[in-house]
Amino acid sequence: MNTECSAERINFHGLGGRGVVGRFDGGRISSDGGCVLLREVEERTHILNRLAGCFVDHRDPELIEHSVGSLVKQRVYGIALGYEDLNDHDTLRYDALLGLLADKEDPSGAGRRRTEDRGKALAGKSTSGADAEGSGEGGPLQEDSRPDGGDGYVVGGGLRRVPCGPPEGDRD
């Protein structure tokens, strides 16, 4: 049910000589504005980009809308903002600010391929975590069960984490 606001603005009691006004013309709004500071840390340190580099993507490139880096950022920023459950991502995928943090070129999701995904810039829980909650078949980071006995982990549908050390410039 949508709420209709009949007033363009509401004046509240002032505070210390300043007016306090409520307006309803803000458009798409996020309550997680503090996460922009986290993005600044990432822009300087590239920690999440380096983490994303630890995964090998075996998904069909023709079908990929969310890069490994975008999925890693969406998940880590979500956890940092208190959205630790994957089911939260079905709601968060509408958040344009989180889309910006996850490096989505279209943070509003208006240009998505599938009609039912338009308006949702981010991945939903099924893409983000591959049934981490619900069926009991393991979490988003599962031990690899490859027949060749190789090490690593399967992450979601077709992502594989490989052993990854610090970048060349960070080694002692």
Q: What is the pLDDT of residues 34-43, one digit of tens each?
A: 788 898 899 8
Q: Where are the alpha helices (DSSP H) in the chain?
A: 35-45, 47-52, 68-80, 89-92, 96-101, 125-129
| Tally of CB atoms within 10 A around 72 | 23
Cβ neighbours of residue 171 closer than 8 Å, sequence gap 6 or more:
165
> Is residue 145 domain-resident?
yes
Q: Is residue 59 part of a domain?
A: yes
- Residue 24 falls inside a structural domain: no
pLDDT in tens, 58-81: 888 898 888 999 999 999 998 999
- Please state the domain count of the chain: 1
pTM for this model (two decimals): 0.64
Mean pLDDT by 10 residues, the chain (172 residues): 67 81 75 83 92 89 89 91 84 85 85 88 72 38 42 52 58 48
Q: Tell me if 1 is assigned to some domain.
A: no
Report yes or no on 28 lying in a domain. Answer: no
- For residue 89, being part of any structural domain is answered with yes
Residue 105: give the domain boundaries. 35-130+141-164
